[in-house]
């Protein structure tokens, strides 16, 4: 009995101890989780963890930056097979410094600039996604033929006025015959089940501007060959500079009309065609999205422009030497070879859009580029030459002016129906081959550049 009482007393003592411990733990919990205690407890933890968190965020930011740069380089540089030609640019510089062989320097520079011109057009298109239709159109107008303008300015700086004239003329001929012809031909082969159509109104406006450019080039040539100048040697130059200013005003008015007056100048005419185009876009996967960011586009645009400018100096410097080494007239090099490189972006874009049955855009790329060179590029070079003190004029000589005039007439006839097929494209390509053969056998004896070669 006594043992049972002792056990009972021990149990009651243990139970009272447990209750006491519970009360103390509750009191400690309340004191620990008060706001004052919580803030005092969190303060040293934050102070200790502040520095590691900042270091982690910095390293994470650097990693994201490296990944972004790698992704951008992969998208712009390694996504196009044409970029395999990029190493030929540095190789041209090495050949220039080690051997000085003008023919190889010209050839390698030509190959090196080709992918850069295409990537310049790509960067412009990517930037246009973020700027809207109006600013995007101005960007395309500015950078669409940047390669030709850069080469022309370097040639103008070197006093090679005839090379400037012929290269700009060749750019117009290449866009109107070769680029448009390849677009019609490839589009007609891919889309055989229906006749491709485009907006005749836009084609007529561009044809009118091209005829105006022909008129601006024709009158100084006629004035020169008829010997009817009031002041010999000065009236022709004064007329060229005045006409260039007028053509620049006309081109600015054309941009305002195209971008403001007509918000979407290259849309199909009828509602049925518009619905068909929307359905085709939906089948292709919807609207296209940019592949790189806005600032990446700007940075790549600057990089490509600077690299093209750097290589253009070697290219222009080697033109005369290449003409002698290969026994090829400068007129053929300037009219045929240089524009093919400069029009690489337009060539690829026009064919791609034609194969997607977006012929209005192909027409805007090919004919719009010709309009830009004739109404902006040529007058711009005349004004720049005026500022530099160079006698750059609009007298492109009789043979070249006649070639441009006939080309504009032929293309205008092909565009008047508002339809295209592979046969029309083949005809334009064959016309370009005739023009190329004509300049291959044409000796530009009146040019100052050929006179330098003969001496």
Q: Terminal CA-to-CA distance of the chain, rounded, Å?
A: 140
Q: How far is it, in rounded angstroms, from Cα 286 to Cα 302? A: 30
pLDDT of residue 410: 93
Q: Check if the beta carbon of residue 179 is closer than 8 Å to that of residue 350.
A: yes
Supply the pLDDT for residue 173: 93
Length reported for the chain: 455
Strand, helix or coil for residue 196: strand
Q: What is the pLDDT of residues 122-155, one digit of tens each?
A: 887 788 788 765 566 567 656 767 778 888 888 8
Q: Print burial letters for 218-240: b (CB count within 10 Å at least 16), e (below 16).
A: bbbbebbeeeebeeeeeebbebb
Residues 411 and 367: their CA atoms lie apart, in Å, by: 9
CB atoms within 10 A of CB 322: 22
Sequence-distant (6+) residues with CB within 8 A of 179 are 343, 346, 347, 350, 365, 366, 369
CB contact burial 360-372 (16+ within 10 A = b; e otherwise): bbbbbbbbbbbbb
Positions in the chain short of pLDDT 50 = 7, 21, 24-50, 263-286, 448-455
pLDDT of residue 172: 92
Q: Is 284 helix (H, G, I), strand (E, B) or coil?
A: coil
Q: What is the reported pLDDT for 91?
A: 92
Handedness of CA 13, 16, 18, 20 (dihedral sign): negative
The encoded tokens of residue 426 equal 């083949």
Predicted confidence at residue 247, as pLDDT, reads: 94
DSSP 419: E
**Global pTM?**
0.74
């Amino acid at each position: 009995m006594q043992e049972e009482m002792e056990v009972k007393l021990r149990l009651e003592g243990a139970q009272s101890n447990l209750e006491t411990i519970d009360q103390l733990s509750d009191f400690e919990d309340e004191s620990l989780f008060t706001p004052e205690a919580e803030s005092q407890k969190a303060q040293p933890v934050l102070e200790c963890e502040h520095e590691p968190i900042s270091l982690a965020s910095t390293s994470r930011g650097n990693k994201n930056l490296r990944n972004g740069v790698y992704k951008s380089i992969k998208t712009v540089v390694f996504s196009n097979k044409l970029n395999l030609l990029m190493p030929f640019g540095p190789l041209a510089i090495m050949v220039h410094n080690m051997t000085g062989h003008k023919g190889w320097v010209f050839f390698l520079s030509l190959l090196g600039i080709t992918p850069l011109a295409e990537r310049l057009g790509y960067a412009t298109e990517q930037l246009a996604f973020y700027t809207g239709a109006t600013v995007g159109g101005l960007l395309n107008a500015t950078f669409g033929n940047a390669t030709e303008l850069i080469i022309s300015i370097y040639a103008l700086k070197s006093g090679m006025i005839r090379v400037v004239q012929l290269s700009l003329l060749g750019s117009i001929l290449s866009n109107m015959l070769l680029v448009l012809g390849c677009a019609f031909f490839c589009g007609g082969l891919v889309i055989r089940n229906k006749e491709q159509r485009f907006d005749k109104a836009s084609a007529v406006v561009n044809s009118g501007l091209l005829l105006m450019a022909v008129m601006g080039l024709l009158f100084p040539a006629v004035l020169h060959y008829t010997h009817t100048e009031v002041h010999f040697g000065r009236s022709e130059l004064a007329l060229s500079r005045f006409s260039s200013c007028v053509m620049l005003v006309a081109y600015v008015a054309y941009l305002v009309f195209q971008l403001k007056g007509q918000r979407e100048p290259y849309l199909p005419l009828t509602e049925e065609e518009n619905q068909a185009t929307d359905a085709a876009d939906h089948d292709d996967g919807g609207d296209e999205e940019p592949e790189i960011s806005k600032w990446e586009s700007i940075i790549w645009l600057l990089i490509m422009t600077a690299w093209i400018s750097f290589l253009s100096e070697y290219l222009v410097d080697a033109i005369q030497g290449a003409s002698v080494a290969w026994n090829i007239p400068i007129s053929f090099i300037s009219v045929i070879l240089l524009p093919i490189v400069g029009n690489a972006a337009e060539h690829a874009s026009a064919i791609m859009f034609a194969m997607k049955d977006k012929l209005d855009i192909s027409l805007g790329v090919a004919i719009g580029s010709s309009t830009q060179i004739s109404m902006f590029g040529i007058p711009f070079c005349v004004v720049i030459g005026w500022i530099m003190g160079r006698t750059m004029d609009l007298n492109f000589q009789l043979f070249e002016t006649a070639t441009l005039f006939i080309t504009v007439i032929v293309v205008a006839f092909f565009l008047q129906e508002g339809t295209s097929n592979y046969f029309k494209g083949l005809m334009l390509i064959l016309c370009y081959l005739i023009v190329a053969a004509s300049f291959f056998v044409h000796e530009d004896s009146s040019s100052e550049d050929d006179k330098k070669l003969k001496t």
